[in-house]
Amino acid sequence: MSKVRFEALGTLFHRKPVEIPIGNEKISDYFGRKVFGEKQMRQHLPGDAFKSVQKSIDSGNRIERQVADQVAAAMKEWAIGMGVTHYTHWFQPLTGSTAEKHDAFFEPTDGGGAIEKFRGDMLVQQEPDASSFPNGGIRNTFEARGYTAWDPSSPAFVIGTTLCIPTIFISYTGEALDNKMPLLKALNAVDKAATAVCQYFDKNITKVNATLGWEQEYFLIDTALYNARPDLMMTGRALFGQAPAKGQQLDDHYFGTIPERVSHFMRDFEKQALELGIPVKTRHNEVAPNQFECAPIFEETNLANDHNLLLMDLMDKVAVKHNFRVLLHEKPFAGLNGSGKHNNWSLGTNTGVNLLQPGKNPKENIRFLTFFVNTIKAIYDHADVLRASIASAGNDHRLGANEAPPAIMSVFIGEKLTEMLDNLEKNVKSGSMTPEEKTALKLDIGKIPELLMDNTDRNRTSPFAFTGNKFEFRAVGSAANCATPMIALNTIMTKQLKAFKKDVDALIKKGEKKDIAILKQLQKIIKESKTIRFEGNGYGEEWVKEAKKRGLSNLKDTPRALSAYTTKETIDLFVNEGIFSPIELEARHEIELEKYVMKIQIEARMLEDLAKNHVLPSAVLYQNRLIKNVTGLKEIFGAKFKDHAVAQLAVIEELSSRMGALKKALDVMLEERKKANVMEDIEKKAFAYCDKVKGAFDEISYNINKLEITVDDELWALPKFRELLFTK
Ligand code: ADP
Ligand code: MG
């Protein structure tokens, strides 16, 4: 065994949980303690300033300069009281993660003294030197002028001794360079469109919030073993590895007892998350060994997304203290379950109504059906946009790989609601309806909640499933920034709700009663969007064939999925709804392609490095051992030595042939990389990396895995899956 692997495993024998003492504080004592939220603002701000901030938050309007000064002063006072010395604008550049640059509050004064300073302008705007963040050609790197601007709808928080202020990140020419700004735009757009539709049902509805409840899946690996697997360190996934004898087939990990070390880690990061106002609620083991999940209570989408980003960061930091590393990659281990981040989504009103919750009477249910059916139609019209929004090199391993939702976008609604929609399709008459027919129809609609009560069917294989009072977008990858899918979903919903409103208004104008106009329009879109609905097994080969017949896309990899960003339909969609300009959209397409190329390039380099520097040397060492043995046998037994060396000779040959095949596959990959690297066009390059470079990975990992089970365990340099995943 290699020294590194041996020592890593040895370390494990002495691992003890890093105990987190159980304090006597209740969660309600420390929840939100490190957040400058409503409670803290009320406490530290003059009354009128507080009201003014709240109003700006609700309406999305700018905060007056003078009020900003007051907020800054209050924030500073509150933060300094907690031992804070620095502040940072916290933003989401298009790398996918978050960025921060810390500045001290303190400023020297004349005469050698110093004071703590934090003015409104420092709160409202900053100019980080942002030349090396991805911008897709929007901003020339030599004019590194982008700025961050305060997002008052997401409260500031304290990490360590730094006050973090959530901000958007934009170029001086106004283009978004981040994920937050378009998300805020999409949320604002869906609010307007949904509120307008809500006016049919309740005039008191003046605001609609898109809600998001994410479920974060992740793997935990011991630090020592992680450090002994350079592929995990550099790419976040094991590029090869023989599947362990026991994987997840016994289903004994799912919802099983949480190991003690892990449970201390969870308690630690959850407490810190709660202090930051992240309402984490659920924790459990996931399907694969060493795989876990954490989910909070849902929140308004912008806040929920900030909280998810914060949590991913926090998990990473806290894990190190507990001698773990968190893997957020979508598929760290071939052959085992991958990790996703289900995005539970709904629309909630200022009157406390969940618009995807079936109601208590026919009227409420027509409202429910309106939002329910319009969502289905939105997905039907723009499935490719939704698919593009979750495309990444990591997620490619999951989607369509027979364990996660397929790459084909479809909607699952369950048997009862399918019946309901079928009825609507049949029973709404296109001409005028008799009063009896109308009553019968409404009675039918009134039955929805009862129908749903015993409707327990759940389809785990659907990428987009209705789960009783929300839709669950399951195809989102575990490492993703939820903003991307949430921008897509809320934008397509906006477009659909606006179109719906327009059509219903036209019917009403023609003399149709409101309810009947709505039902007729719903009937029309139920018919139009029927093919996106699928209730069967999404993992099966049958579905792939069936979907093809229905004309649904099956975009299996990132470069293909991202092409959706370049169609006229998509550009029109985002431009018309005011979310992206054509330039911004093009930039995002380019950035995502670049990201993809870099990820595969790093994997290819790592694979080559490990094959040449770890795998082949181990195989050669073992072969040498065998050769020495055979040579010895020859000395003893002379011509008869072969009878005594059957196994040795066979293994020597096998090693030679595997090593030969490996070398050949590596050469192919290297050639393809060389060809791809000189390509100027980023899209062509991405396709080359996808089809040719990555196309060579399987042959390489296949031969490495065969060597892994052939070579003497003592000589194998890298920790095996069974060690990575089963040691506690
Ligand atoms: P599960 O899907 O595991 O059965 P739940 O149905 O309780 O569990 O919810 C899963 C996730 O859905 C949680 O994160 C929860 O906060 C979220 N969720 C529940 N209601 C809504 C809603 N109206 N909008 C958005 N997310 C929601
Ligand atoms: Mg769920």
- pLDDT over 70 percentage in the chain: 95
- Is 590's C-beta closer than 6 angstroms to any atom of ligand 1? no
Closest ligand 1 atom to 357 CA: 23
Calculate how far, in angstroms, residue 232's C-alpha sits from the geometric centre of ligand 2.
Answer: 28
The pLDDT-based confidence of 429 (bands split at 50, 70, 90) is confident
Residue 611 belongs to what domain range? 594-724
In a domain, 2, yes or no: no
Paired strand residues for 211: 300, 346
Calculate how far, in angstroms, residue 356's C-alpha sits from the geometric centre of ligand 1.
Answer: 12
Calculate how far, in angstroms, residue 354's C-alpha sits from the geometric centre of ligand 1.
Answer: 12
State residue 254's pLDDT score.
65
- Is 466's C-beta closer than 6 angstroms to any atom of ligand 1? no
> What is the number of the ligand closest to the CA of 342?
2
- Return the structure tokens found at 204: 């008191």
Q: Look over the chain and give the mean of its residue pLDDT values, rounded to a whole number.
A: 91
Residue with tokens 């219903």: 504
- Is 346's C-beta closer than 6 angstroms to any atom of ligand 1? yes
- Is 470's C-beta closer than 6 angstroms to any atom of ligand 1? yes
Among 217, 284, 287, 298, residue to substitute to test ligand 1 (most atoms within 8 Å of Cβ): 298
- pLDDT over 90 percentage in the chain: 70
> What is the per-residue pLDDT across 550-608, written as a single tens digit (0 to 9) for each?
999 999 999 999 999 999 999 999 999 999 999 999 999 999 999 999 999 999 999 99
Rounded distance between C-alpha atoms, residue 619 and residue 651, angstroms: 11
Question: Which protein residue's CA is at the shortest distance from atom 17 of ligand 1?
Answer: 213
Paired strand residues for 465: 412, 472
Question: Which protein residue's CA is at the shortest distance from atom 2 of ligand 1?
Answer: 467
Helix (H, G, I), strand (E, B) or coil at 702: helix
> Are 169 and 218 in the same domain?
no
When pLDDT is averaged across residues 373-389 and rounded to a whole number, the result is 98
Question: Which protein residue's CA is at the shortest distance from atom 3 of ligand 1?
Answer: 215
Name the range with the highest mean pLDDT among 177-181, 262-266, 455-459, 490-494. Answer: 490-494
Question: Which protein residue's CA is at the shortest distance from atom 14 of ligand 1?
Answer: 213
- Is 471's C-beta closer than 6 angstroms to any atom of ligand 1? no
> What is the per-residue pLDDT across 49-87, written as a single tens digit (0 to 9) for each?
999 988 888 877 788 888 899 999 999 999 999 999 999
> What is the number of the ligand closest to the CA of 353?
1
Helix (H, G, I), strand (E, B) or coil at 362: helix
State residue 60's pLDDT score.
74
- Is 342's C-beta closer than 6 angstroms to any atom of ligand 1? no
DSSP 24: S
> Are 610 and 678 in the same domain?
yes
Q: Look at residues 661, 560, 578, 546 and name the one whose alpha carbon lies nearest to residue 615.
A: 661
> Are 40 and 160 in the same domain?
yes
In a domain, 423, yes or no: yes
**Res. 137: pLDDT tops 80:** no
Rounded distance between C-alpha atoms, residue 285 and residue 283, angstroms: 7
Calculate how far, in angstroms, residue 485's C-alpha sits from the geometric centre of ligand 1.
Answer: 17
When pLDDT is averaged across residues 356-366 and rounded to a whole number, the result is 88
Closest ligand 1 atom to 469 CA: 23
Is there a contact between 158 and 62 (Cβ–Cβ < 8 Å)? no
Q: Look at residues 391, 373, 393 and name the one whose alpha carbon lies nearest to residue 381.
A: 373
Rounded distance between C-alpha atoms, residue 198 and residue 366, angstroms: 11
Is there a contact between 562 and 391 (Cβ–Cβ < 8 Å)? yes
H-helix segments, 579-714: 582-610, 616-637, 646-677, 682-688, 697-710
Rounded distance between C-alpha atoms, residue 321 and residue 242, angstroms: 30
- Is 298's C-beta closer than 6 angstroms to any atom of ligand 1? yes
Among 280, 470, 472, residue to substitute to test ligand 1 (most atoms within 8 Å of Cβ): 470
> Are 433 and 489 in the same domain?
yes
Positive or negative, the Cα torsion across 497, 54, 34, 161?
Answer: positive
State residue 4's pLDDT score.
79
- Is 44's C-beta closer than 6 angstroms to any atom of ligand 1? no
Is there a contact between 406 and 412 (Cβ–Cβ < 8 Å)? no
Mark which of 549, 580, 611 sits at the end of a domain. 580
Calculate how far, in angstroms, residue 460's C-alpha sits from the geometric centre of ligand 1.
Answer: 15
What region does 241 belong to: left with phi over 0, alpha with psi -120 to 50, or beta?
Answer: left
Question: Which protein residue's CA is at the shortest distance from atom 4 of ligand 1?
Answer: 467
Identify the H or E element spanning 417: helix 415-427
Residue with tokens 């601007």: 149
> Are 603 and 541 in the same domain?
no
For the domain that residue 89 is a member of, what is the CATH number? 3.10.20.70
Helix (H, G, I), strand (E, B) or coil at 125: strand
- Return the structure tokens found at 272: 């810190």
> Are 656 and 698 in the same domain?
yes
Calculate how far, in angstroms, residue 467's C-alpha sits from the geometric centre of ligand 2.
Answer: 8
Rounded distance between C-alpha atoms, residue 547 and residue 409, angstroms: 9
Residue with tokens 């949320």: 187
Calculate how far, in angstroms, residue 23's C-alpha sits from the geometric centre of ligand 2.
Answer: 31
- Report CA-CA distances (Å) from 516 to 367, 430, 446: 12, 10, 15
In a domain, 693, yes or no: yes
Rounded distance between C-alpha atoms, residue 374 and residue 521, angstroms: 10
State residue 135's pLDDT score.
79
In a domain, 17, yes or no: no
For the domain that residue 530 is a member of, what is the CATH number? 3.30.590.10
The pLDDT-based confidence of 116 (bands split at 50, 70, 90) is confident
* pTM score, whole prediction: 0.95
Mark which of 147, 176, 205 sits at the end of a domain. 176
> Are 495 and 641 in the same domain?
no
> Are 171 and 193 in the same domain?
no
**At residue 185, what is the residue type?**
K
Question: Which protein residue's CA is at the shortest distance from atom 1 of ligand 1?
Answer: 467
- Is 123's C-beta closer than 6 angstroms to any atom of ligand 1? no
> Are 249 and 364 in the same domain?
yes
Residue with tokens 């002028």: 145
> What is the per-residue pLDDT across 233-255, written as a single tens digit (0 to 9) for each?
999 999 999 988 876 666 666 66
State residue 141's pLDDT score.
46
- Is 215's C-beta closer than 6 angstroms to any atom of ligand 1? yes
Paired strand residues for 216: 294, 341
State residue 359's pLDDT score.
85
**At residue 60, what is the residue type?**
G
Dihedral angle computed from the Cα positions of residues 621, 625, 631 and 636, in that order, rounded to the nearest 10 degrees? 170
Question: Which protein residue's CA is at the shortest distance from atom 26 of ligand 1?
Answer: 213
Among 208, 293, 344, 349, residue to substitute to test ligand 1 (most atoms within 8 Å of Cβ): 344
For the domain that residue 598 is a member of, what is the CATH number? 1.20.120.1560
When pLDDT is averaged across residues 26-37 and rounded to a whole number, the result is 94
In a domain, 15, yes or no: no
List Cβ neighbours of 152 (8 Å cut-off, separation of 6 or more). Answer: 53, 56, 57, 63, 71
- Is 557's C-beta closer than 6 angstroms to any atom of ligand 1? no
In a domain, 182, yes or no: no
List Cβ neighbours of 32 (8 Å cut-off, separation of 6 or more). Answer: 39, 274, 275, 276, 277
When pLDDT is averaged across residues 32-37 and rounded to a whole number, the result is 95
Is there a contact between 65 and 49 (Cβ–Cβ < 8 Å)? no
Rounded distance between C-alpha atoms, residue 175 and residue 133, angstroms: 14
Calculate how far, in angstroms, residue 166's C-alpha sits from the geometric centre of ligand 2.
Answer: 28
Helix (H, G, I), strand (E, B) or coil at 491: helix
- Is 716's C-beta closer than 6 angstroms to any atom of ligand 1? no
State residue 23's pLDDT score.
80
Q: Look at residues 184, 229, 450 and name the one whose alpha carbon lies nearest to residue 325.
A: 229
Is there a contact between 218 and 327 (Cβ–Cβ < 8 Å)? yes
- Is 265's C-beta closer than 6 angstroms to any atom of ligand 1? no
State residue 255's pLDDT score.
63
Q: Look at residues 538, 279, 525 and name the one whose alpha carbon lies nearest to residue 404.
A: 538
Calculate how far, in angstroms, residue 299's C-alpha sits from the geometric centre of ligand 1.
Answer: 10
Please report, for the chain, how many H helices and E strands are present, in that order.
27, 18
Closest ligand 1 atom to 298 CA: 16
In a domain, 589, yes or no: no
Calculate how far, in angstroms, residue 298's C-alpha sits from the geometric centre of ligand 1.
Answer: 6
Helix 582-610 to helix 646-677 angle, to the nearest 10 degrees? 150
> Are 524 and 632 in the same domain?
no
> Are 101 and 134 in the same domain?
yes
In a domain, 9, yes or no: no
**At residue 516, what is the residue type?**
I
Neighbours of 513 (CB within 10 A): 12
> What is the number of the ligand closest to the CA of 474?
2
When pLDDT is averaged across residues 613-617 and rounded to a whole number, the result is 96
Burial class (CB in 10 A: 0-12, 13-18, 19+), 93: buried
- Return the structure tokens found at 199: 């006016």
The pLDDT-based confidence of 338 (bands split at 50, 70, 90) is very high
The pLDDT-based confidence of 437 (bands split at 50, 70, 90) is confident
> What is the number of the ligand closest to the CA of 456?
1
Of residues 410 and 436, which shows the higher confidence score? 410
Rounded distance between C-alpha atoms, residue 182 and residue 481, angstroms: 13
Mark which of 176, 203, 223 sits at the end of a domain. 176
Query: Domains in the chain: how many in total?
Result: 3
- Is 338's C-beta closer than 6 angstroms to any atom of ligand 1? no
DSSP 63: P
Q: Look at residues 672, 696, 669 and name the one whose alpha carbon lies nearest to residue 685.
A: 672
Residue with tokens 């209705």: 466
Q: Look at residues 41, 144, 138, 146 and name the one whose alpha carbon lies nearest to residue 92.
A: 146
- Is 349's C-beta closer than 6 angstroms to any atom of ligand 1? no
- Is 354's C-beta closer than 6 angstroms to any atom of ligand 1? yes
CA 99 distance to own-chain centroid? 17
State residue 142's pLDDT score.
44
> Are 654 and 606 in the same domain?
yes
